């Protein structure tokens, strides 16, 4: 009987062993692929190989100089659960680390000892990180990352933008060219241990190298940029205005040489601003009403179509009644300008009645505004001069708005207003590009702010794009320069415009819409003008916008002086020799 | 009984398993060290686990040799004392734990080890296993000789020793895994001693009731059963990763040193989960070989029982059989998701000193007993004669009926 019992125990062993081997067969042979898949899902890690973000250069004369660079910095992370509080205090909470700590006291890190991850310092420079590493405090990680540094400080900050904590470009060039600048991250696919440390065990490890971002060279000349910003700051202080933007470009090919917006901010500490408004590059992304500078577009349209010349005479009544609205000249009170006068005078003295007369002539009827006239003006504004639509510059831009010439009520008064730059929304870059076409012989160029790329320390220039279209005829352009030159008689008389130089321009004082109506006591001042040696094509085009909310800022008084300074600065900087 | 050559197969299989364990610890020890260093900032050297396991193996071989050389008559007398030592040590451990002494080594609220300086730690439960095995065998054998096996002369002392041991291990030390092994030793010894089936069934029933009671009174054990059934929780991660390791091994395994699961995914990779790592490393063929080696070893131990010179020796061999078989099966079946996790080592293969040494002692005793077994010839003769006798009787019966 006892032998049977032993046999029973033995049989039980065999049964259990059989079950085990059967189970092993099931797991290891039948279900193998399932388990391998689960293992792979668990063991395989894709590590990003971060691409190096491209740096940003500006021109320094003919050389490219970096204005936005990368610096290797470290984030210091402590594991409060494992770390020795005394050691952490001694090695990390030092005097030298003060500016980088994210917590004031070491105690805070150890308030909750169960935590395994605590960022104690950010943007720690390499030397300090090295010191911490050598001190071996234990349970501390130094995570490498890059930080943008700005050797030129706040220069062109609103053009350049910044890079946020996640490494994404925000505003300006950093945002608009984010893709080019950030490059393409590489990938390391590897079998790793439970702490995600790569193992040499796997045979399917994959490595795709990172493609570093491009080093973008802007066409901006940092000296011009600095000069323009300095002049803006001076004039703002002098005039007591708090907002100003300026744009300098080469009208001959649309190259932007300076794009300034004040006040600026420190991109290295971009968080220290009162409002995000200070990040906005107004030149391209803030549409507004530039007012009378648009008279240049209106007159050029008429001249180009042969319906008027600067000498064309019209009767200036001081105001016009259209759609039941009285549209006045800003020189309403000056009786000497009343009566018959020329288009050139209308341009010089910015007579709204003159540009309205031009609109009437466009429609073929000197006595009234017609659909035909409105349609022609719309066509020239939008399709010839590029107003109210994206210019195609490499930055973020706003489109603005030019209302339809036919659909809608009150089109006559609206278009009458549009002849002198109100009742429409355009950006500075649109106006400046259109004016470039007016003065450069009549060809429209897409404005550009990118000159090329730095490759292996050498500037590789982007191929220059030709003109996009003919905006006006060469003769019209010549006439427009003459008209713009004509407005600056006083400047020449005062010696502001020096002999041997051809400098022309136009003011624009815009009423600002407040609560749905044009305000009588809040104006924005604009000036657009060109300059160069007499007898030559203009070498620069400058557009200025200056204002202060709630104040009347007249163009002649405030914008023109800024232009004057920048114009003379350009002549000096470009060393333009006087012509004859 | 005259001494003759022992069963070399027991010797051989023991040695193979010890070597296999060493190889696997050699391969994954560095990974374990690396993982612990990374997780806890320690400074454990790559060879730390291998060297300690090597020491364990040498000590276990020494223990095996002592168990073989020490006359069984002496070992037998030690049985009671070993059991007593186990009880005393368990009580001492309880006191040490209660007083918060650093001598008590506790993990997750269960105090199962006594620290003995730099040498390591001692698990009193192992003393209980061996002591109870020797004590119950002697008791059952002598009561059987007296003819009082089914009387309280046997049941009372056996019951008291068993209940005390189990209470200390399962309730105080919260070690259900070791408890299962102790129950196996008790049941196998009693069963083999030839007690009445009715009484045996009663014991089984009592143990079942006690087991359910122990489980439902402990939230942590209810949780373990629940997660085993539902397939969630920490144990599920452990079992899942054990099965990932085993499954990944396929037919032939990924090779020595190529285990990824041992780099931290699989908990207890060098101790309780070593079978799974072996599965990843050596594949189905390797694991089947391990199971077969165990089965061969156990069959030979059972053979010692079958051929044992005395009833007592027979019961000791059966006890060792139950010990090794159940510990092996419980460990492997948990690793393959057949039963819930209980947390016991795989005999001879898992990293760890006390467990390995006591199994070595048990196997050493078995080996010594294999030197004193009856000759197979004798047994065969006896079998033949008794069979012959039965047949004849049968024939007589039939013939008588015919008449």
| Backbone φ and ψ of B248, nearest 5° | -65, -25
Give residues 323 to 352 of B whose Cβ lies within 8 Å of A.
325, 329, 332-333, 336-338
User: Are residue A183 and residue A322 in the same domain, yes or no?
Assistant: no
pLDDT, tens only, B4-22: 888 999 999 999 999 999 9
Dist CA B334 CA B343 (whole Å): 9
CB atoms within 10 A of CB A507: 26
User: Are residue A302 and residue A173 in the same domain, yes or no?
Assistant: no
Number of structural domains (chain B) is 1
User: Are residue A336 and residue A451 in the same domain, yes or no?
Assistant: yes
Q: Is A71 on the interface with B (CB under 8 A)?
A: no
User: Are residue A258 and residue A180 in the same domain, yes or no?
Assistant: no
Give the mutation candidate from A13, A33, A78, A137 for the B interface (greatest B CB count, under 10 A): A13
Are A538 and A530 contacting, i.e. CB atoms less than 8 angstroms apart?
Answer: yes
pLDDT at B397: 46
Tell me, yes or no, whether B2 lies in a domain: no
Average pLDDT taken over every residue of chain A: 91
pLDDT of residue A460 exceeding 90, the answer is: yes
* Chain B nearest CA to A261, separation (Å): 52
Tell me whether residues B298 and A194 touch, CB distance under 8 A.
Answer: no
Of the candidates A441, A443, A461, the one whose C-alpha atom is nearest the C-alpha of residue A452 is: A461
Tell me, yes or no, whether B24 lies in a domain: yes
The ipTM assigned to this model is: 0.90
Tell me, yes or no, whether A252 lies in a domain: yes
Are A65 and A88 contacting, i.e. CB atoms less than 8 angstroms apart?
Answer: no
Give the closest of B40, B245, B263 to A199, CB-based: B263
| Sign of the CA dihedral running B339, B343, B347, B348 | positive
Instruction: Give the 3-state secondary structure of residue A265.
Output: coil
Q: Is A82 on the interface with B (CB under 8 A)?
A: yes
Q: Which residues on adjacent β-strands are paired with residue A544?
A: A246, A527
User: Are residue A180 and residue A262 in the same domain, yes or no?
Assistant: no
Domain that holds residue B254: 8-374
pLDDT, tens only, B334-355: 999 998 888 889 999 998 778 8
Q: How confident is residue B163, by pLDDT bands cut at 50, 70 and 90? A: very high
Of the candidates B8, B34, B91, the one whose C-alpha atom is nearest the C-alpha of residue B262 is: B34
Q: Is A2 on the interface with B (CB under 8 A)?
A: yes
Tell me, yes or no, whether B402 lies in a domain: no
Of the candidates A452, A529, A544, A419, the one whose C-alpha atom is nearest the C-alpha of residue A484 is: A529
Closest-approach residue (CA) in chain B for A139: B41
Q: Is A5 on the interface with B (CB under 8 A)?
A: yes
Tell me, yes or no, whether A35 lies in a domain: no
Give the closest of A23, A36, A197 to B336, CB-based: A23
Higher pLDDT, A504 or B39: A504
Number of structural domains (chain A) is 2
Which residues on chain B are in Cβ contact (under 8 Å) with A202? 260
Q: Is A191 on the interface with B (CB under 8 A)?
A: yes
Domain that holds residue A129: 56-105+115-188
pLDDT, tens only, A359-379: 999 999 999 999 999 999 999
Give the closest of B39, B284, B295 to A28, CB-based: B284
pLDDT at A478: 97
Q: Is B318 on the interface with A (CB under 8 A)?
A: yes
Q: Which two three-digit tokens encode residue B303? A: 């053979």
Of the candidates A570, A461, A578, A558, the one whose C-alpha atom is nearest the C-alpha of residue A235 is: A558
Give the closest of A28, A39, A201 to B283, CB-based: A28
pLDDT at A332: 63
- Helix-strand-coil split of chain A, %, nearest 5: 35, 30, 35
Mean pLDDT to the nearest integer, A32-61 = 88
Give the closest of B41, B279, B284 to A82, CB-based: B41
A143, A170, A188 - which closes a domain: A188
Give the closest of A24, A191, A195 to B284, CB-based: A24
User: Are residue A128 and residue A269 in the same domain, yes or no?
Assistant: no
Distance between start and end Cα atoms, chain B: 47
Q: Which two three-digit tokens encode residue B376? A: 């197979």
| Distance of alpha carbon A399 from the chain centroid | 14
User: Are residue A147 and residue A260 in the same domain, yes or no?
Assistant: no
Mean pLDDT to the nearest integer, B328-338 = 94
pLDDT of residue A253 exceeding 70, the answer is: yes
pLDDT of residue A473 exceeding 50, the answer is: yes
Tell me, yes or no, whether B395 lies in a domain: no
Give residues 9 to 38 of A whose Cβ lies within 8 Å of B.
9-10, 13-14, 16-17, 19-21, 23-25, 27-29, 31-32, 34-36, 38
Tell me, yes or no, whether B17 lies in a domain: yes
Q: Between the CA atoms of A270, A276, A281 and A282, what dihedral angle is there, to the nearest 10 degrees?
A: -150
Tell me, yes or no, whether A466 lies in a domain: yes
Whether omega before A286 lies within 30 degrees of 0, making that bond cis, reads: no
- Lowest-pLDDT range, A169-178, A216-225, A527-536, B194-203? B194-203
Query: What would you measure as the largest C-alpha separation in chain B, in angstroms?
Result: 91
Which residues on chain B are in Cβ contact (under 8 Å) with A42? 244, 265
* CATH number for position A370: 3.40.710.10
Closest-approach residue (CA) in chain B for A199: B260
Q: Which residues on adjacent β-strands are paired with residue A341?
A: A314
- Lowest-pLDDT range, A132-136, B9-13, B370-374? A132-136
Tell me whether residues B188 and A20 touch, CB distance under 8 A.
Answer: no
Tell me, yes or no, whether A88 lies in a domain: yes
Tell me, yes or no, whether B398 lies in a domain: no
Q: Is A43 on the interface with B (CB under 8 A)?
A: yes
Tell me, yes or no, whether A359 lies in a domain: yes
User: Are residue A360 and residue A295 in the same domain, yes or no?
Assistant: yes
A164, A188, A212 - which closes a domain: A188
Q: Is B306 on the interface with A (CB under 8 A)?
A: yes
Dist CA B381 CA A552 (whole Å): 128
Task: Quote the Cα angle for A539-A545-A547, to 5°.
Answer: 160
Tell me, yes or no, whether A74 lies in a domain: yes
Tell me, yes or no, whether B379 lies in a domain: no
Closest-approach residue (CA) in chain B for A136: B41
Tell me, yes or no, whether B381 lies in a domain: no
Tell me whether residues A43 and B260 touch, CB distance under 8 A.
Answer: yes
Task: Scan for tokens 């070893």, then name that residue.
Answer: B297
Dist CA B249 CA B277 (whole Å): 9
Adjacency order of strands within the sheet including A501-514:
A255-262, A243-250, A540-547, A517-533, A501-514
Dist CA A76 CA A431 (whole Å): 49
């Amino acid at each position: 009987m006892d032998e049977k019992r032993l046999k029973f125990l033995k049989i039980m062993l065999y049964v259990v062993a059989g079950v085990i081997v059967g189970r092993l067969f099931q797991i290891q042979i039948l279900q193998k692929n399932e388990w391998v898949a689960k293992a792979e899902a668990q063991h395989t890690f894709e590590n990003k190989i971060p691409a190096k973000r491209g740096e940003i250069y500006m021109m320094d004369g003919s050389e490219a100089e970096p204005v936005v660079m990368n610096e290797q910095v470290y984030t210091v992370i402590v594991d409060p659960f494992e770390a020795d509080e005394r050691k952490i205090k001694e090695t990390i909470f030092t005097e030298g680390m003060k500016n980088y700590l994210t917590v004031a006291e070491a105690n805070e890190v150890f308030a909750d000892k169960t935590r395994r991850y605590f960022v104690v310092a950010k943007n720690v420079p390499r030397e300090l990180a090295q010191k911490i590493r050598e001190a071996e405090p234990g349970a501390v990680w130094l995570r490498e990352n890059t930080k943008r540094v700005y050797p030129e400080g706040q220069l062109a900050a609103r053009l350049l933008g910044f890079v946020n904590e996640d490494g994404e470009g925000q505003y300006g060039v950093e945002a608009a060219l984010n893709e080019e600048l950030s490059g393409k991250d590489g990938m390391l696919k590897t079998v790793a241990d439970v702490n995600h440390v790569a193992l040499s065990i796997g045979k399917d490890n994959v490595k795709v190298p990172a493609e570093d971002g491009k080093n973008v060279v802007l066409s901006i000349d940092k000296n011009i940029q600095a000069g323009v910003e300095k002049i803006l700051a001076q004039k703002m202080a002098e005039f007591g205005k708090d907002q100003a933007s300026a744009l300098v470009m080469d009208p001959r090919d649309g190259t932007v040489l300076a794009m300034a917006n004040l006040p600026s901010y420190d991109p290295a500490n971009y968080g220290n601003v009162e409002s995000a408004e200070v990040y906005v590059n107004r030149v391209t992304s803030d549409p507004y009403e530039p007012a009378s500078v648009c008279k240049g577009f209106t007159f050029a349209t008429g001249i180009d179509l042969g319906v008027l010349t600067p000498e064309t005479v019209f009767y200036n009544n001081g105001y016009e009644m259209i759609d039941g609205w009285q549209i006045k000249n800003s020189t309403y009170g000056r009786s000497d300008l009343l009566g018959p006068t020329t288009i050139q005078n209308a341009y010089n003295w910015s007579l709204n009645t003159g540009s309205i007369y031009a609109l009437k002539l466009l429609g073929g009827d000197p006595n009234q505004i017609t659909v035909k006239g409105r349609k022609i003006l719309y066509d020239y504004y939008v399709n010839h001069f590029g107003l109210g639509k994206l210019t195609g510059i490499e930055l973020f831009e706003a489109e603005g708005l030019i209302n339809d010439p036919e659909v809608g009520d009150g089109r006559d008064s609206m278009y009458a207003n549009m002849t002198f730059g109100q009742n429409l929304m355009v950006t500075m870059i649109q106006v400046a590009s259109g004016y470039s076409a007016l003065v450069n012989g009549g060809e429209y160029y897409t404005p550009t702010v990118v000159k090329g790329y730095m490759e292996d320390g050498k500037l590789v220039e982007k191929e220059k794009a030709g003109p996009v279209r003919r905006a006006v005829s060469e003769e019209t352009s010549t006439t427009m320069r003459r008209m713009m030159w004509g407005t600056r008689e006083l400047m020449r008389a005062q010696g502001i415009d020096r002999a041997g130089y051809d400098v022309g321009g136009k003011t624009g004082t815009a009423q600002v819409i407040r609560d749905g109506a044009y305000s009588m006591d809040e104006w924005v001042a604009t000036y657009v003008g060109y300059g160069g040696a007499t007898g030559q094509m203009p070498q620069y085009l400058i557009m200025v916008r200056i204002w202060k909310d709630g104040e009347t800022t007249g163009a002649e008084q405030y914008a023109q002086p800024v232009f004057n300074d920048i114009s003379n600065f350009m002549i000096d900087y470009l060393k333009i020799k006087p012509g004859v | 009984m005259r001494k003759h050559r022992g069963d070399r197969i027991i010797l051989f299989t023991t040695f193979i398993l010890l070597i296999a364990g060493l190889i696997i610890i050699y391969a994954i020890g560095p990974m374990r060290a690396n993982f612990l260093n990374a997780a806890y900032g320690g400074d454990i050297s790559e060879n730390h686990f291998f060297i300690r396991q090597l020491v364990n193996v040498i000590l276990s071989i020494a223990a095996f040799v002592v168990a073989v050389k020490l006359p069984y008559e002496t070992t037998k007398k030690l049985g009671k004392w070993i059991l007593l030592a186990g009880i005393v040590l368990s009580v001492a451990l309880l006191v040490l734990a209660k007083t918060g002494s650093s001598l008590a080594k506790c993990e997750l609220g269960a105090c199962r080890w006594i620290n003995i300086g730099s040498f390591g730690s001692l698990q009193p439960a192992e003393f209980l296993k061996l002591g109870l095995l020797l004590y119950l065998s002697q008791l059952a054998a002598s009561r059987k000789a007296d003819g009082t096996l089914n009387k309280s002369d046997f049941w009372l002392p056996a019951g008291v020793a068993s209940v005390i041991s189990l209470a200390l291990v399962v309730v105080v030390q919260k070690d259900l895994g070791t408890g299962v092994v102790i129950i196996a030793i008790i049941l196998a010894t009693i069963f083999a001693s030839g007690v009445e089936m009715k009484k045996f069934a009663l014991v089984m029933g009592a143990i079942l009731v006690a087991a359910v009671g122990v489980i439902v009174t402990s939230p942590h054990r209810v949780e373990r059963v629940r997660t085993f059934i539902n397939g969630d929780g920490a144990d599920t991660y452990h079992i899942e990763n054990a099965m990932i390791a085993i499954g990944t091994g396929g037919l032939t395994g990924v090779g020595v040193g190529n285990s990824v699961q041992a780099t931290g995914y699989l908990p207890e990779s060098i101790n309780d989960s070593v079978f799974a790592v072996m599965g990843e490393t050596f594949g189905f063929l390797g694991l089947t070989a391990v199971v077969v080696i165990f089965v061969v070893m156990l069959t030979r131990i059972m053979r010692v029982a079958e051929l044992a010179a005395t009833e007592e020796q027979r019961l000791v061999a059966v006890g060792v059989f139950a010990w090794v078989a159940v510990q092996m099966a419980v460990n492997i079946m948990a690793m393959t998701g057949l039963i819930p996790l209980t947390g016991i080592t795989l005999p001879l293969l898992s990293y760890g000193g006390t467990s390995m040494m006591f199994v070595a002692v048990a196997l050493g005793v078995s080996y010594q007993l294999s030197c004193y077994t009856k000759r197979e010839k004798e047994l065969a003769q006896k079998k033949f004669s008794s069979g012959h006798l039965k047949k004849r009787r049968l024939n007589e019966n039939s013939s008588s009926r015919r008449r």
